[in-house]
Copies of this chain bind each other. A is one copy, B any other.
């Protein structure tokens, strides 16, 4: 990508992040209702700090940081980049104010643009691309976190209709994939993350995969058939989790006045039956598949079959644990902490969601979350 195009992409990305926050009140920016949810203000500042830390401090001569405290306040998990506020304490930071954080954004954005007009070395452009992709990932997290914050207000305020799903239209069919050795992983021309790299071969056994995501209608049948009460459908860990946390439905579902409602970004509404079911943990996706007598695809099956169905509405849980590809190597220093250190205990999701930034998705993309989490925009596709 040439410099001009990259500057445009950079500006677009910076704007898009702020656009997501437009509907918020200042009060909504600082709260951290659970440890997984970061305050919107934090995302705004952290994605900015990333550029300051890895681009400006490294490449811009004489650059003076906007505020000495911000590295401490807005580093997320990069041990190599120094001390930081612990994750559970992000919601305690009332200062800097939202206004100051927007000023910080403006300052860093302008400095990066200035830098790019002076310097367009390949290594810089590469880091910028990582920074843009990083900010796009935080755009998606912002959507999750804002939905969580507003969806847990007793008053269920509206947020933004962009983050509401369409109802399904196609008929469900199963697509057959033949047995054989397939190539998996990103062939590097354009950007990808290090965890997608290393094209390698995987032997795939024959399978059939649905062209559709599971709908609320189908999931409601599972609930009504007692799926949350039948231990035989669940992993032992999942069974303990739903019982200890009293989970009986997807996140944001409320049974009131005799039927199921959910908080979507328009407020509290009756469930739309033909929408894909959303806000599902891996435990739930697995139990649902068991109940159907089917299973989830592995991430390799998903990648191989992905050109044969539509995807992109919801991240799709796979049966694969998040592990390194053969020949995976970490970058040196802080950026080496981006992916590799999370390769234990998490499950891969494939695809993209309505909250994913444009041009940020590809069929080799490996997303990953803990199997217990429901707050991301996750759904279910089955294999038989």
- Show the binding face of A for B, using Cβ within 8 Å: 25-31, 33, 41, 69, 72-73, 77, 79-80, 85, 91-98, 149-150, 152-155, 157, 181, 200-203, 205, 231-232, 234-239, 282-283, 286, 319-321, 323-324, 326-327, 336-337, 341-345, 347, 371
**B91 & A91 in contact (Cβ 8 Å cutoff):** yes
Tell me how many chains of this kind the complex includes. 4
CB distance from A373 to the nearest CB of B (A): 13
In the complex, A344 Cα to B157 Cα: how many Å? 37
Q: A98-B27, A154-B69, A232-B80 are in contact. Are A237 and B344 (CB under 8 A)?
A: yes
The listed residue (B153, B323, B344) touching A94 by CB distance below 8 A is B153
**A73 & B154 in contact (Cβ 8 Å cutoff):** yes
In the complex, A26 Cα to B27 Cα: how many Å? 7
Residues of B within 8 A of A85 (CB): 154
In the complex, A247 Cα to B96 Cα: how many Å? 28
The listed residue (B152, B181, B232) touching A79 by CB distance below 8 A is B232
**A155 & B69 in contact (Cβ 8 Å cutoff):** yes
**B236 & A341 in contact (Cβ 8 Å cutoff):** yes
**B154 & A25 in contact (Cβ 8 Å cutoff):** no
The listed residue (B30, B205, B342) touching A201 by CB distance below 8 A is B205
**B154 & A31 in contact (Cβ 8 Å cutoff):** no
Residues of B within 8 A of A323 (CB): 319-321
CB distance from A161 to the nearest CB of B (A): 19
A-B contact pairs, 25 of them (CB 8 A): A26-B97, A27-B29, A27-B94, A27-B98, A31-B94, A69-B154, A72-B154, A92-B153, A93-B153, A94-B150, A95-B157, A96-B155, A181-B181, A201-B203, A205-B326, A232-B336, A235-B342, A235-B343, A236-B337, A237-B345, A282-B344, A283-B344, A319-B323, A319-B324, A345-B371
The listed residue (B152, B202, B239, B344) touching A92 by CB distance below 8 A is B152
Residues of B within 8 A of A94 (CB): 25, 27-28, 31, 149-150, 153
**B232 & A27 in contact (Cβ 8 Å cutoff):** no
Sample of 12 further A-B pairs with CB below 8 A, known A27-B30, A31-B91, A235-B341: A26-B26, A28-B94, A30-B30, A33-B92, A77-B236, A80-B232, A85-B154, A94-B150, A181-B181, A232-B337, A235-B344, A319-B324
Residues of B within 8 A of A152 (CB): 92
Residues of B within 8 A of A69 (CB): 154-155
CB distance from A322 to the nearest CB of B (A): 8
Residues of B within 8 A of A232 (CB): 79-80, 336-337
Residues of B within 8 A of A343 (CB): 235
